[in-house]
Each structure stands twice: as structure tokens, then as C-alpha cells.
Amino acid sequence: MQIRVGFGYDMHRLQEGRELWIGGVKLDYEKGLLGHSDADVLIHAICDALLGAANLRDIGYHFPDTSPEYHNVDSKLLLGETMNLLGEKGYALGNIDATVCAEQPKLNPHIPAMRRKLAEVMGVSDGLISIKATTSEKMGFVGREEGITAYAVALICKS
């Protein structure tokens, strides 16, 4: 059995007038994340971790922000396509461990819904997906509530 690990990181700026999507779940907040797609920072970090583990480059390579096809796209579609790319290479998900860093809104109440939604999109058990939330203790651009970051590690397996 071949086991591979990948790491993903993403950040997006918060902006008024945008919807806030994290982990495939729409959150009620006065600002959303700015990006070419829906800017779901958690899904983007997970996609990069999965693609990196399979040596398939990164999310920008497969879903470029210069393409009108991906303008305002639902990031859950990008995650589903990422899982298809892994399947084509014979890989299956071992697990995901992810952390989202945001001062506001508080994410902990939404983590169970995020895990369920991501598992549904990825076609796996939600027991394979760990999501944690933290703050940056009021330091840096996250601490000033200018943006949100996400980090993810993915383990994939090939028989």
C-alpha cells in the first residue's frame, strides 16, 4: 500500500457585501471572503492538500482564477472534481486534518455541519475529516479581522 501526505494553505480577505462560505456551509456574518470563486478558504486548503499528496500540482493549476468558468463557482464543485482526479490516479482518502484561523465569526458551532457537508461532497465518512478552529489572538491580518486563513493536511492511500 502506498501512503502519501499533502499540505494545503489558503487565505482570503474579508469584505462586506459577500457571502461567507467555510467548509461548504454558509455562515451568517456581515462580511464574506473575497475571491474569484465563493472563496471557501477551508475547501481551497483541503483541495491543495489532496492535490499535493497525489502530486497533481495545486488548485490554481486545475481551477485558474483567470477562467470565467470558475467565477463565483461553488467550491464544493472544485472539491468534488479534486476527488475525481484522485480517484483517476487510484487514490482514496485516508483522512483530513484542517484548522481555520478567524477572529470572527466563531466557527466551533458550525464544525459538525462543515464535517457532514465535506464528507457528503467527498463521498466519505465524516469520521475521516477533522476540523479545528482557532484565532490569531488579535495579531496580524486575521487578528485585525481583515481575512481568514485555513491549513489542511491530507493522507491518501493507493493499494
Positive or negative, the CA dihedral 23, 109, 15, 137 is negative
On the question of pLDDT at 159 being above 80, the answer is no
Residue 73 makes CB contacts below 8 A (sequence gap 6+) with 37, 38, 63
Task: Name the percent of the chain lying above pLDDT 70.
Answer: 99
Domain-wise residue ranges, the chain: 2-158
CB contact at 8 A, 153 and 6:
yes
pLDDT grade, residue 145 (50/70/90)? Answer: very high
For residues 98 and 8, give the distance between their C-alpha atoms in angstroms, rounded to a whole number.
9
| 59 belongs to an annotated ligand binding site | yes
pLDDT grade, residue 144 (50/70/90)? Answer: very high
Enter the C-alpha cell of residue 65: 482564477
Class of domain 2-158 (CATH, top level): alpha beta
| 87 belongs to an annotated ligand binding site | no
| 130 belongs to an annotated ligand binding site | no
| 134 belongs to an annotated ligand binding site | yes
- pLDDT tens readout for residues 41-78: 999 999 999 999 999 999 999 999 898 888 989 999 99
- pLDDT tens readout for residues 103-133: 999 999 999 999 999 999 999 999 999 999 9
State pTM to two decimals.
Answer: 0.97
| 71 belongs to an annotated ligand binding site | no
| 1 belongs to an annotated ligand binding site | no
For residues 70 and 127, give the distance between their C-alpha atoms in angstroms, rounded to a whole number.
30
| 12 belongs to an annotated ligand binding site | yes
| 44 belongs to an annotated ligand binding site | yes
| 97 belongs to an annotated ligand binding site | no
Which pLDDT score is estimated for 158? 93
Q: Looking at the DSSP assignment, which residues form a beta bridge with residue 32?
A: 15
